[in-house]
Structure 1
Amino acid sequence: MSQWFAEYGLFLAQLVTLGVMILAVLAIAGRAKAGQARSQLRIEELDKRYRARQRQLRLVGLDKKRRKAALKAFKRDDKRRDKRDGAKRPTLWVLDFHGDIKASGTARLAEEVSLILGVIDERDEVAIRLESPGGLVHAYGLAAAQLDRLRDAGVSTTVCIDKVAASGGYMMACCADRLRAAPFAVLGSIGVVAQLPNIHRLLKRHDVDVELLTAGRYKRTLTVLGENTEEGREKFIEELESTHALFKRFVAERRQGLDIDAIATGETWYGSQAVDKGLIDAVGTSEAYLLERMNDARVVTVSLEKRRRLTERLGRAVSLGIEDGLQRIYEALEASGWQRR
C-alpha cells in the first residue's frame, strides 16, 4: 500500500509540473502577442444565417424524396436571390451598445461608426441596438456625439431599445432619426442627479480638523470631509440646473415637436406609454424590426471585439468550468430536497 501511495504522489508531482510548464509556455506566447492588435472585427450577415436555419427547420420530418425536392427549390431560390442582389440591395448595418455608468463602450462605438462611414451607401441604414440606464454626463455626452456623426453625415439611423434607454442612454437614443422600443422597455429619466455623503460632524465630534484650501471662489462647492455652506449648496444646485437645461436643449433639438418641459421631469415611461409622449416613434422589438428589414435589405452586424490573450482565455475557461461544476452540485442538492428536511 505504501508503494502505491508513493507512485501516486510521484504521478501528481509530474502532473503539477506539466501544468506549470504549460502555463509558462502560454504566458510567453501571450507576451509575444502583446504588440498585436487587441481587437478584431466581426461581421455576420444575419439574413443568410436566418435563411439557413429556417431551411433546416423546413427539412425536419421530410422523407428522402421530398427532402431532395426541397433542396432543389432552395437552389432555385438562391439563384433568383443572387440575380436580384446583382442590382445591389441596400444594407442595414447593425451596431450594439450596452452602456455602464462610464459608457465604457464609447471608444469601440466610435471606431465602428468610423468604419461604417467609410463604406456606407446612400440607400443604406444603420440600426443601433441600445441598452443603457445612463451614467456620467461627460461620458454619455461623448457617446451621443458618436451617433451624431451618423446624423451629420446624412445617414439614416434607427435606434432599437429592448430593455432600457434612460438618462444618458436616452440622450444617445434621441440622436437617431427613428426610435423603436419594446412595450415594457424603460425610457426617459431626462434629469440630473448628484449625491455625496458628508462626515464633517463625525470628524468634529472626534476632534479631527480638515483643511480645504482653494484658489477660486467655486473651486469646491460641496465636499465630503469639510463643512458645507449654504452658498456652496446654492452653487451646486445652480450647476445641476445648468446641466439639466443643456440636456433638455439637446433632446429638444433632436426630437422636434416633443413637449420637453412636460417630459424632462426625471420620470420614466414604458415603451407603450412613451410612444404617446413622443419619446419614441413606434413600439416593437429589435428582433421584429430586423426580420422586417430582411425582406428588402441585407442585414449585417458589425462589432469590434477585444482579442483576449491565451492566458486570459485559459483563465476564463477554468473559471467557467468551476462555475459550471458548482452549478451542477447546487442543482443536484436542490433536486435531492436536502434544504427542505
Structure 2
Amino acid sequence: MDFSRLLPARLRRRRAPRVAVIRLQGAIGAVRPGAQGLSDAALEPVIERAFRKSRPVAVALIVNSPGGSPVQSSLIAARIRRLADETQVPVHAFVEDVAASGGYWLACAADDIWADATSVVGSIGVISAGFGLSELIAKHGVERRVHTAGGSKSFLDPFRPEKPEDIARLTGLLEEMHRVFKAWVTERRGGRLATDADLFTGEIWTGALALRSGLIDGIAHPVPKLKELYGEKVRLIPYGQRRSLLRRFGAEAGAALGAETAGALAQAVEERALWARYGL
C-alpha cells in the first residue's frame, strides 16, 4: 500500500523532487541604470537562491542569448560552477533560439547542454565593432581636440583615423580573449568535442549540426527531459530577475527618468543589433 496517499497534499508535494529553473534571456553586459540585461551583479541573488533554496535536485538553465561581454559571461559562468560544486547539484542547460558567443559560454557552465534541432549554437569567437567618424566631422568643419597624459589614452578614438599600432594592439587583446574562451569550452566539453573540425572560428550551427560536433549533448526540451531525468512528479521552480520600473510601466513612465531612459534605449539598440546577427 502506498501510504504517501494518506498524507496531506501539502506534505505529498514536498516529496516531489524540485528543479530550480534560471532563465538567462538577453544580451550579456554590465547593466546601465534603467536598463535590464544579463550581468553577474544582477544575477547574483537569482543564482544564489536557485542553488540554495529548497534543496533542489538540479538546476536548469534556460539560455536564450546572442552573447555580449566576455567578462560578464565569464563571471556568471564561474558563479554557476562555484555554486554547483559547493552544493553538489547538477546543472543542465537548455537552448531556446540562440546560445551564441557569450550565450554559449553560459551554456557551457552546465554539465550537459540540450537544444532544439533548429536552435542556433556556437559563435566561439570575439568581436569588436565600432564606427569611424573622422571624415564625417571633417566634412562638417568640426575640429577634434584631445589632450592626454599617456600615449595610449586616445586608443581607437572614433573621431580620428585608425592607427596601425592601435589595430595591432586591439587584435592582440581579442586573440587573448579568444584563447580564454576556447580554453573554457575545451575544459567544460572535454572529449565530447569533435576532433575533425575547427569549432573555434566563430561559426554558428543549428542544434542538429552542433550535436554532431559535440557542442551539445542532445536534442531535447526542458519539461520532457527533466521529467525523464527526475520523474513525472518533478516540480520546476522558476527563478528570475525582478523587472525594472521602466520594464513594468512602459515607455511613459520611462520617459520621466531622463538619463536612465537614454541608457535603456541605448542598451536596447545594442541588444537589437546582436539579435539581428542571427535573424531574430
Q: TM-score range by the shorter chain?
A: 0.7 to 0.9
Structural mapping, 1:18-29, within 5 Å: none
Question: Could you list the runs of 5+ residues in structure 2 that have no partner in the other structure?
Answer: 31-36, 254-280
- Cα offsets for 1:285-310 (capped at 9, x unmatched): 2232134346255323132453787x
The verdict on how the C-alpha distance between 1:307 and 1:207 changes in structure 2, with shifts beyond 3 A counting, is: closer
- Cα offsets for 1:62-99 (capped at 9, x unmatched): xxxxxxxxxxxxxx997179799699453222221212
The one-letter code matched in structure 2 to 1:273 is L
State the partner residue of 1:191.
125
The one-letter code matched in structure 2 to 1:97 is L
Bigger CA radius of gyration: 1
The one-letter code matched in structure 2 to 1:94 is V
State the partner residue of 1:173.
107
State the partner residue of 2:172.
238
Q: Does 1:287 align with 2:223?
A: yes
Question: Could you list the runs of 5+ residues in structure 1 that have no partner in the other structure?
Answer: 1-75, 320-341
Residues in 2 aligned to 1:275 and 1:267: alpha-carbon distance in whole angstroms: 14
Shift of 1:249: 1.2
Q: Which moved more, 1:270-279 or 1:293-302?
A: 293-302
TM-score by length of 2: 0.73
Structural mapping, 1:1-341, within 5 Å: 79=5, 88-102=15-29, 104-106=37-39, 107-119=41-53, 121=55, 124-153=57-86, 154-257=88-191, 258=193, 262-293=198-229, 295=231, 298-304=234-240, 306=242
Q: How many percent of aligned residue pairs carry the same amino acid?
A: 30
Residues in 2 aligned to 1:283 and 1:298: alpha-carbon distance in whole angstroms: 20
Secondary structure of 1:215's counterpart equals coil
The verdict on how the C-alpha distance between 1:194 and 1:312 changes in structure 2, with shifts beyond 3 A counting, is: closer
Residues in 1 aligned to 2:6 and 2:19: alpha-carbon distance in whole angstroms: 21
Residues in 2 aligned to 1:81 and 1:162: alpha-carbon distance in whole angstroms: 38
The verdict on how the C-alpha distance between 1:218 and 1:298 changes in structure 2, with shifts beyond 3 A counting, is: same
TM-score by length of 1: 0.61
Shift of 1:173: 0.3
Q: Does the 8 A contact of 1:188 with 1:269 survive in 2?
A: yes
Q: Does the 8 A contact of 2:4 with 2:12 survive in 1?
A: no
Residues in 1 aligned to 2:113 and 2:80: alpha-carbon distance in whole angstroms: 13
Shift of 1:161: 0.9
Q: Does the 8 A contact of 1:92 with 1:298 survive in 2?
A: yes
Q: Does the 8 A contact of 1:190 with 1:266 survive in 2?
A: yes
Q: Which moved more, 1:259-268 or 1:85-94?
A: 85-94
Residues in 2 aligned to 1:197 and 1:92: alpha-carbon distance in whole angstroms: 45
The one-letter code matched in structure 2 to 1:79 is R
Superposition CA RMSD, Å: 3.4
Residues in 2 aligned to 1:207 and 1:177: alpha-carbon distance in whole angstroms: 57
The one-letter code matched in structure 1 to 2:26 is G
Shift of 1:216: 3.2
Q: Does the 8 A contact of 1:150 with 1:157 survive in 2?
A: no
Secondary structure of 1:164's counterpart equals strand
State the partner residue of 1:47.
none
Structure with higher helix content? 1
The verdict on how the C-alpha distance between 1:113 and 1:134 changes in structure 2, with shifts beyond 3 A counting, is: same
Q: Which moved more, 1:239-248 or 1:145-154?
A: 145-154
The one-letter code matched in structure 2 to 1:160 is F
The verdict on how the C-alpha distance between 1:229 and 1:270 changes in structure 2, with shifts beyond 3 A counting, is: same
- Cα offsets for 1:308-331 (capped at 9, x unmatched): 87x997x56x99xxxxxxxxxxxx
Residues in 2 aligned to 1:190 and 1:312: alpha-carbon distance in whole angstroms: 31
